Every structure is written in structure tokens, then in C-alpha cells.
Structure 1
Amino acid sequence: MDTVGDSSGNILLEILIKGVRYQRCTIDGIPHGGLGATGFTLTETGPATGIFEGVFRIPVRFCNEAGTELISPAGGSVVAKYHDFSDVFGEVNIFSTDRPSTSSIQFIPPNVNAERFTIPKFSGSIDVLVQGTIANYKDGVPVQVTLIKPDLSSQDFTVFPTSQGSYRAIFTLNADSILGYYNVHINYLGSTQGKVSFIVDNPIFPSWIKNDAEDWSKRLIGDSEFKASIEYLIDENIISMPELTEQDLETVIIPNWFRNNASWWAVDRISEADFINGIKYIVEQG
């Protein structure tokens, strides 16, 4: 057996000495070397730690690449490569003690697969993908990911970069997800790697409402027309205010400061959730 591996013969761990794979060979009818022949094993350090340890002795002589003669390891380097057949994303990774110089790895700041997401109306889910590349990565050291939600609550995650320093974090949105702005902060070894933001919107918010909000903010339409738009949102239960009557809405005075909110929402400076909350506040205050 040349390397430690699974029952299908796939490589799990391999050792290279002087750039030559430490393998078993037979010379003049006599078998020599090979990692498996040493009785080498990998033992996990604890339940579900994902960290394995093993010890082996450097041989006095080992088989050359062709397996035709024994050579000395003197003056050479030893490299261990761990083959991960399927990481959390189902991809193959090879982690090596002889990792590339960090200067050869280009730092890529975190980025997100879209700036705006519309949550499913009733069922189903949508994945938000944040990814990037760590320039000074170290094998086995996870990336720290912090998700800050619109209500300012937060969740912390850890993801492991690949052997080339790239990482991916996936967040799943569903019909119960909070509307508004989300921020994702990436940290590695105590150093910030950047942040990204995305917006989660209501799936049934008609686009013409945004046009009306912008026109009202510019005084191109009056309060009565804008109130009609608000009434539509309430009637369609996009804004939930079941105890409000049409007469109540007619008496509501929309303050001038809300023109800023309408203008900001029209150009995506605030989220739909912020805009809706502003309307609720105005209506409740009368």
C-alpha cells in the first residue's frame, strides 16, 4: 500500500521526500518502504474536531520515483499532503505543508452574488453566497464570518478556506427572513478582510409605488395622491394595519421630513422595510 487511503484506493494522505512520493517498491524480490507498511495511522484529536494527528519515521532509504533503486533522504525536504475528497461545498481540496508563498496568492475582498434579494412569498428559499480569498492564510485556520441583520442582531460562523486561501459562506433566506439591510464582516487571524452588504426586499411591493414616492418627494404629486398609494399598500396587506379605516388615513398628516425617506427609498439608500416602518409610524401617530 503506497499511501493511507480509503477502501476504494483513493489517496487520503501522501508523503513526498525530495519531491518523490514515499511509496512501496520491490527490488530483487524484496519489498521496501511505503507509508502503509510503517503502520502509520491518522487519529482524530477529539469528537468531530476535524483535526487528525499521526507520526512516522523518516526512512534511512526509500524508493526512487521509478521504484528501481533505493535512495537517501539526506539533504531533501519532506512534504505532507492531505486530500479532502469533499469539503462543505462538495469540492476537492488538497492541503499541503509545502503551501504556496502568500505573496503568490492574490487577496480578493469579500463579494456577494447579488446586491438585492427578494424573499420567497410563501415557501422555498434563496441562498446568499459571500466569497473571497485570504492572502495570508494558514492551513487549518478558519475564517470568521459575522452576519449583522436589519434588527442589529448578529450571528457568527466559521468557514475553512481551501488550500489556495479561497472561502465561501452561504446564508439561506426564506419567507420568515427579516426585510432590510444585511452586513457581512469577514475576519481572519484577528484582522478584518472587508465587509459586504445586501438588501432583502418584500416580493409583492409594486414598482410603481416607488415612482409615486419619488414624485411626492419632489412635490410633483400632492399628499392625497401619495396617501392613495399608502392606502393601496394597506388594502393589499403589504403593510399590516388591520384596525386602520379609510377615514383614519384621510386625517393623517404626512410630515415634510418623510420626503427625505421617500427620496432615499426611491434611490435605494434605505430599504423597503425602513420605508414601511416610516409609514407605519406616521399613520400610528396620526
Structure 2
Amino acid sequence: MNKPVLVLAFAVILMVLFGINSAFAVSSLEISTNKKTYEYGDYLSINILVPDLSSKMVILHIIDSSNKTSAPINLPITQTNTTITTPVPFYKINFDPGTYRINAQYSNFTTSTSFDIIDSGKIAIPVELKSLVKTLEQGDQSDNAYTSLIRELVNDKIIDIPNYVQSNQPHIPQWFKNNFKWWADSSISDNDFGMAIKYLMQKGIILA
């Protein structure tokens, strides 16, 4: 199984913990997503409608644009209408742009739905990096420490810097280090923070 499908399958399993259930009668199995097109940073929500509670499990398979299929994902069903949302959004490092399909089976019923992930240029930074920034605030606040994080974002194509060449003399303005703190505290968005880094790198103000 490739990494995007594995990550999405794991996220869907976690969604069970955040499920929202209500009663709603249908004559067959129905499945839908809250959007047809997702950008990086968006969360996936899946709504599942079942005709009855004769079976206690919906089985999902997720197929990516290269037709690689996840292992079966078993979701317990306690109500006829269930909505589950992934606890983490789509990140560029885990999901390639393309069309993804979700196949569902409940008792003798089967159905499927699909959604697209597009790269619109919106920047979404993995939330775990905020913990790293907060660690830096308690210790090493050198230019090298902060520019190492920037290099990771650029090398992973989270921040797109055309013709990027790593600098031998990393530099980051002292005043911009406050932006790291504000981002780690969620006072500014991933996109605003990432676009600021991109602009300052293109202007030669940040060297990383």
C-alpha cells in the first residue's frame, strides 16, 4: 500500500472517535463527502446512510488515482446516519493531487463516491512542526535552527521556491522570529506564514 492511501486509511479509522450520529431512513447504502474538491489543509468528512441496523459494520476501501487500494477499514455503525471527520487535514507530504475513490459495503449493499485533491497553491503545514517551533523558543533560537525548519518546508515542496539553492550562510531577521511564535500559537494561518516566508526568501531577506 502506498503512503497516501495508508495515511488516509489510518485517518478514517481515527474518524470513528469523532463520529456524529443521527437517525435517518434510506432504502439502500449511501455514502458522500462534504466536498467534491479538496485543497491542502482541508478536512475530509464522510456521511454514511444505512437502511437499517441489521449489520453493525460498514467496510470501506480507499483507492487512489493510481488504483492502489487500502486495506479494509471497518467502521462500527450504531445509527442509520453517521458523519465522521478526519482528525488531521490533507497535507502535501502525504497526498498527491488526483482523484480518490471510497468504496463502501454494508451487509449486501455496496456503493462508492469519489473526491479530488488539487494543489491550488494554498499552503498547509503539518501541525507537528508547531511543537518543534515551541521547543526552539525554549532553547536554540539561532538562525540555523529556524532556517533548518524552513529548508524542510521548501524541500518537501510545502513552500514552493522555484530554483531553490540552499544557502551556505543562513540568515533570518530577528523580527521575523516572532512570526514563528505567532504561527505556532495559531495566531496566523499556515498560508499567511508560508507566503511570508516565500516572499522574504525571494527577496533575499531570508537565506535558508
Scaled to the shorter chain, the TM-score interval is 0.3 to 0.5
Q: TM-score, normalised by structure 2?
A: 0.42
Report which structure shows greater RCO (CA 8 Å, sep ≥6). Answer: 2
Q: Which has the higher strand share?
A: 1
Higher helix share: 2
The normalised TM-score by structure 1 is 0.33
